Amino acid sequence: MKKLLLKWLAAIYGAVIWIWDAWFRRFPDRIQKVGARVISVGNITWGGTGKTPLTTMIARDLAEEGNKVAVLIRGYGDDEVQELRKKLPGIPVITGRNRVKSAREAIEKHGAKVLVLDDAFQHRKIHRDLNLLMINSTEPFGPGGLIPLGTLREPLESMARADLFILTKCDVGSKNVHWIRQKINALKPNAVIFEAVHKPMALRDPLKNRRIPPHDLRNRKVAALSGIGDPHSFEKMVEMQGAEVRFAARYPDHHCFKASEIAHFLKQSRNMGLREAVTTEKDFIRLKGILEKSFQEDLRTFTFWILEIEFRVDDEEDFVRRCLHS
């Protein structure tokens, strides 16, 4: 009965998406230009592709080349906004549901000439000069079809709107890369496709002010704690550094952690003889206050490591060139 209901809801959702797409095709003048170059970063599934790391890389690289850049983000998760502002000092990060309004603020108040839109593939009201579509190689199109039956935000045919494709986590999902490329080329012949990885750079313990190389995880038994869109890839990344993930606690994307959940996590970890946990930078933004307020004593004998990663595209120079001139 539940599956039947989800099928009906997915069918209704699909009809709404079709009408929305048809409306923009019928009235293209409703798509507004804003007087700056607009680069949209997005995906076709619900979470887990690495949009924020790619947005960070593009904004940083373009700014380093002397461009006046601003990042526009809807602001669903405060953790993503904080992460962007921390990693992009000096670059305006503007939040708001109305991307056109945010774009005008970036141009008028900050003199931005290039706008990078985080998670905007489905935001059709603003004209974009470059439409980037990210696909998670470990689980490219999710199970089950359209939301809420599956994780697709649009039918696969919508991928044809993209100008560039970025296959992410290609090291973890290498077995899928060839057929993903075939799928893309069937929908958009001669598509421009880049491959990317999330490269671990360091393990950081901000509470004890320590930083070690990721390979120091080799032969350690650890717990993993995450509230992200693709926890399996994160855990696999930890294991690829040589660690053994003995216990993994997974929560929904942008999960607001409670003290009771952290207490349970620590108890479970200790029962398994574990004294270390690995989490993500995004998750630690939501964990830090709880840990410092309620678990100071526990942190004397238990360590939370942040796995710092860097987004790497296979030909970054060509990719950045296309961001400016495609």
For residue 144, pLDDT beyond 80: no
Q: Would you call 141 helix, strand, or coil by DSSP?
A: coil
Q: How many CB atoms lie within 10 A of CB 267?
A: 11
Predicted TM-score (pTM) of this structure: 0.92
- The C-alpha atoms of residue 109 and residue 60 are separated, in whole angstroms, by 20
Q: How many domains does the chain have?
A: 2
Residues 108 and 211 in one domain: no
The pLDDT, as a whole number, for residue 77 is 63
61 to each of 56, 150, 305, how far by Cα in Å?
8, 35, 27
- The pLDDT of residue 130 is 97
Same domain? 235 vs 125: no
Distance CA 49, CA 34 (A): 27
Do residues 244 and 216 share a domain? yes
pLDDT in tens, 260-309: 999 999 999 999 999 999 999 999 999 999 999 999 999 999 999 999 99
Above 80 in pLDDT, residue 1? no
Tell me if 248 sits within 8 A of 274, measured CB to CB.
no
Cα 139 from Cα 173, distance rounded (Å)? 8
Beta strand 303-313 with 192-205: parallel, antiparallel or unpaired?
antiparallel
State whether 266 and 141 are in the same domain. Answer: no
The CATH number of the domain holding residue 58 is 3.40.50.300
Render the burial of 29-53: b for 16+ CB within 10 Å, e for the rest: eeeeebebbbbbbbbbbebbbbbbb
- pLDDT of 222 > 80? The answer is yes
CA neighbours closer than 13 Å in the CB half-sphere of residue 310: 10
Quick one: 217 and 140 in the same domain?
Answer: no
The pair of structure tokens assigned to 68 is 């006046």
> Do 229 and 257 fall into the same domain?
yes
Indicate which CATH number applies to the domain containing 240. 3.40.50
Which residue range forms the structural domain that includes residue 265? 200-310
Q: Are residues 154 and 286 in the same domain?
A: no
Give 42's strand partners: 133
Whether 229 contacts 206, CB under 8 Å = no
The identity of residue 208, as a single letter, is K
**In the prediction, which pLDDT does 268 show?**
97
Is the pLDDT score of 16 beyond 80? yes
